[in-house]
Structure 1
Amino acid sequence: MGVNYFTEEQVKELEKNPYVKKVSNKSITYAEEFKELYWIDYQNGIQPIEIFKKYGFDPNVLGAKRRNTFTERLKKQTQRVEGFKDTRKDNSGRPSTKELSLEEQIERLKHKNKVLQQENDFLKRVRFINRKQISKQSKNKQ
């Protein structure tokens, strides 16, 4: 069973919904306001399919798997400090060193140096063990 793609008509219809932040033929991003309203209704015992209908979504267009996944994802988001906030835009890779103070840059470099020293020590041990193995093998052949 593959991904439930949206048709162009469905995408246009979903874009009209004020609770949709972004939609493509493969995915939909809901507004934070909708997530909060959905969670309140869900906590009050309303079935997910009814909640989607209440806020102008066609449950058949979304599909059962997408609805269930959304509910499970919200359950996890309630446990986070950020709540329903979309954190993907904030986590776009390694933070720039330009934003770091001099002390923070020094700490980062010290940490990097320590990691590299540990890696170097590990590689030395591996080489030593390999040499030991080769030495044992050559003695056994004689």
Structure 2
Amino acid sequence: MSKIIFNEHQQRVLEANPNVASVSDRAIQYTPEFKIHAVKEYQTGKSPSQIFSESGFDLTVIGSKKATSSLNRWRTTFRTYGEEGFLKERRGKGSTGRPSTNDLSAEKKLEKAEARIKYLEAENELLKKLEALERQAKKRS
């Protein structure tokens, strides 16, 4: 979380920027379109400060470190998920959680089933050995 705390006037100024989705006293949520635009601009050789300044942000208010760290996060997201990473929510209630098994190929499903069977067989063997040891301990006492 940022150490910068935005006052009401700064929040109103930031909210007026079309590249901002919402602002709290400590955080700015940028629009997905701006994030995509910023990453593409960075790839052309522009600096984070230059990108944010050209997009109407006052770097004395948000801080140049915030611009750099935000852009670094967005670049990682862009590299991993592409543009879709900004357009689809991947956190909280909007998240889909574990990847669905419905869209797995038949080979992958079979592979997962075989691994599960192997695990369960090993678990069964362990329980059988444990029962045998318990029986032996009962006979001795």
What TM-score range do you get, normalising by the shorter chain? 0.5 to 0.7
Q: Structure 1: state its 5+ residue gaps.
A: 95-103, 105-110
Pairwise CA RMSD = 3.7
The letter of the residue matching 2:56 is G
Query: Structure 1 residue 92 and structure 2 residue 91: aligned?
Result: no
CA-to-aligned-CA distance 1:73-101 (integer Å, 9 cap, x gap): 2212332455153321794346xxxxxxx
CA-to-aligned-CA distance 1:49-89 (integer Å, 9 cap, x gap): 12211111122322344222211122123324551533217
Superposed displacement of residue 11, structure 1: 1.8
Distance 1:27 1:19 in 2: 14
**Structure-2 change in CA distance of 1:134 and 1:75 (3 Å):** same
**Structure-2 change in CA distance of 1:131 and 1:30 (3 Å):** same
Q: Structure 2: state its 5+ residue gaps.
A: 103-108
**Structure-2 change in CA distance of 1:33 and 1:124 (3 Å):** same
Secondary structure at the counterpart of residue 79 of structure 1: helix
Superposed displacement of residue 120, structure 1: 5.9
* Length-normalised TM-score, structure 1: 0.60
Secondary structure at the counterpart of residue 29 of structure 2: strand
The letter of the residue matching 1:86 is L
Distance 1:63 1:126 in 2: 59
Give the structure 2 partner of residue 19 of structure 1: 19
Distance 1:46 1:66 in 2: 16
Distance 1:18 1:73 in 2: 21
**Structure-2 change in CA distance of 1:93 and 1:44 (3 Å):** closer
The letter of the residue matching 1:24 is S
Distance 2:133 2:16 in 1: 69
Superposed displacement of residue 16, structure 1: 0.5
Give the structure 1 partner of residue 2 of structure 2: 3
